[in-house]
A = this chain, B = another copy of it.
Amino acid sequence: MIEQKQDIEKCDCNVIHQDIVNQVKTRMPPEEQLYDLAELFKVFGDSTRIKILWALFEAEMCVCDIAFLLSMTQSAISHQLRVLKQARLVKNRKAGKVVFYSLDDEHVKQIFDQGLIHINER
């Protein structure tokens, strides 16, 4: 068998437990999936967006309402709604001039609740 000594560019230290590393490596999900997961949480990682989502737990709202509720600019809210929509977390419905936004995913609340459990521990 050919020696498995890979030439690593980045890791500037010796591998201590090759067996564990190999075992873990086989169990890791594909790179792309972990990347997507990080991208999803990145969307949750902003308090403005968290507030918007939480508001939408309660009721469908238009951009203006959300801006007023959060004391923020209509433009800022609009930008963030775009991010949320791209992540398929909210959807919208047009009614004349007004655009109503609502949740597009039932898991969000569960994810938030799990997060709160962590925060409120201890």
Binding site for B on A (CB under 8 A): 8-17, 20-21, 23-25, 27-29, 33-47, 49-51, 54-55, 57-59, 61-65, 67-69, 71-75, 88, 98, 105, 107-108, 110-112, 114-119, 121-122
Q: How many copies does the complex hold?
A: 2
A71 x B114 contact (CB < 8 A): no
B71 x A37 contact (CB < 8 A): no
Q: Please give, as numbers and ranges, the residues of chain B lying within 8 Å of A58 by CB-CB distance.
A: 23-24, 27-28
Chain A contact residues: helix, strand, loop or mixed? helix
A67 x B13 contact (CB < 8 A): yes
Q: Please give, as numbers and ranges, the residues of chain B lying within 8 Å of A8 by CB-CB distance.
A: 68, 71
Q: Please give, as numbers and ranges, the residues of chain B lying within 8 Å of A118 by CB-CB distance.
A: 40, 88, 105, 107-108, 111
Given contacts A34-B47, A38-B46, A119-B36, A55 and B24 within 8 Å (CB-CB): yes
For A62, give its contact among B16, B33, B41 (CB under 8 Å).
B16
A119 x B37 contact (CB < 8 A): yes
B68 x A15 contact (CB < 8 A): yes
For A45, give its contact among B14, B34, B41, B72 (CB under 8 Å).
B41
Q: Please give, as numbers and ranges, the residues of chain B lying within 8 Å of A20 by CB-CB distance.
A: 59, 61, 65
